[in-house]
Amino acid sequence: MAKPPNTLFLRVGLLALSAIALAIGFVVYLTAGQFGTKSDYFETYVGESIVGLDVGAAVRFRGVQIGRVTEISLAAAVYDVPEARANRYAMQLVVIRFAVERTRVARITSLEDMIAGGLRTRIASQGITGVTYLEIDILDPARYPPIQVPWKPRYDHIPAVPSTITQVTSAAEQIMRRLEALDIERLINNAAGLMGDLRRQVTDGEVATTLREAGETLAEIRTELRKVRLEDTAAELRGAIANMGDAGRSAQELLASRELRDALVRIPAAVTALEQTLRTARGTTVDLQADLSPLMRDLRSSVANLRDTTEALRRSPSQTLLGAPPPPPNRDRR
């Protein structure tokens, strides 16, 4: 039996070395940048197709790469527990596990608080036909509540939300279902009937009558406007405006005249003089009353005496006229 040539062994050896080099290169590619780094591992559950997402895909937060996908599998294979077998929805989920480098994110103090605040994962892609990756973002927790699974997660669980494409597809499907539920033929018949009713109303119905009456009213208004002499009205209006302008100018001239200004200046002095005159008259009246008061008292006494004398003459005129002389004055006796 002939010995194989030495070149055959050389070829087999080169092929084996190439296969080993490719395997090492593939491993290095998958774990590039992970040697010497510490990572935290998480998992999420997706209820949609993950076509385009493979192991080694990037994990991004707001577009910044913070880790890589490490494992993709079905929940039915990973969590084959009795509690989960009866839950068809849970068994159809896809389990995605990923590693997040600690040097690229802040230290997580409480994952539960972050999840309650809206921490979610979703599948995204760079454009419509771009590379698929796993995105982590902060969303509305009331709109995307976390799902409950019938097993205990092996790693820390971050809830997932449907991708943008899935949401758009679901909205389109809902719209199509609503359109399918509509009775299109009935709507068309109703629209045709409505158009027929409108045509009859415009032709010989109440709408046509209203339009004719409106046309007649407009014609009458046009006729009355022709009868009005707009030129005379405009001339009278211009004259009134001119008169108002003349009156305004006259008022301005009066206000600007020197006589009016002088009169306005003299008004305060005249008011002051009038006040002084009033005060003088008031003082004079008071003095006159003081002088007349004694005279009035004397006059009242004289009138009283005259009244007594008249009364005495009336009672005994002789005694009053021929009465005895007054008694002599008293003299001191020695």
pLDDT at 89: 82
**Which pLDDT does position 318 carry in this prediction?**
61
> What pLDDT does 46 receive?
92
Q: Side chain identity at 292, as an amino acid letter?
A: L
Identity of the amino acid at 161 = V
Q: Alpha carbon of 130 to those of 20, 123, 124, 136: distances in Å?
A: 31, 12, 9, 18
Nearest CA to 66 out of 109, 25, 27, 98 is that of: 98
Q: Write out pLDDT tens, residues 215-225.
A: 888 888 877 77
Using one digit for the tens of pLDDT, what is the confidence trace for 289-334? 676 677 777 777 777 777 777 777 677 666 555 555 555 555 554 4
Q: Residue-wise over 194-220: b if at least 16 C-beta within 10 A, else e?
A: eeeeeeeeeeeeeeeeeeeeeeeeeee
Model-level pTM greater than 0.85? no
Residue ranges in the chain whose pLDDT is less than 70: 1-6, 28-37, 127-129, 227-234, 251, 254-255, 257, 260, 286-289, 291-292, 313, 316-334
DSSP secondary structure letter of residue 102: G
Q: For residue 100, how many other CB atoms are within 10 A of its CB?
A: 19
**So what's the pLDDT on residue 334?**
42
Helices and strands, number each (H, E), in the chain:
11, 7
Question: What is the Rg, in whole angstroms, of the alpha carbon atoms belonging to the chain?
Answer: 62
List the 39-46 sheet strands across, edge first. 119-125, 132-138, 58-61, 64-74, 94-101, 39-46, 156-157
* Gap between the Cα atoms of 22 and 203, Å rounded: 86
Q: What is the pLDDT of residue 28?
A: 67
Taking alpha carbons only, the member of 52, 151, 137, 176 closest to residue 93 is 151
pLDDT of residue 135: 92
Q: Are 77 and 94 in contact (CB under 8 A)?
A: no
Q: What are the sequence ranges of the domains in the chain?
A: 29-161, 185-227
Q: Tokens in use for 46?
A: 């997706």
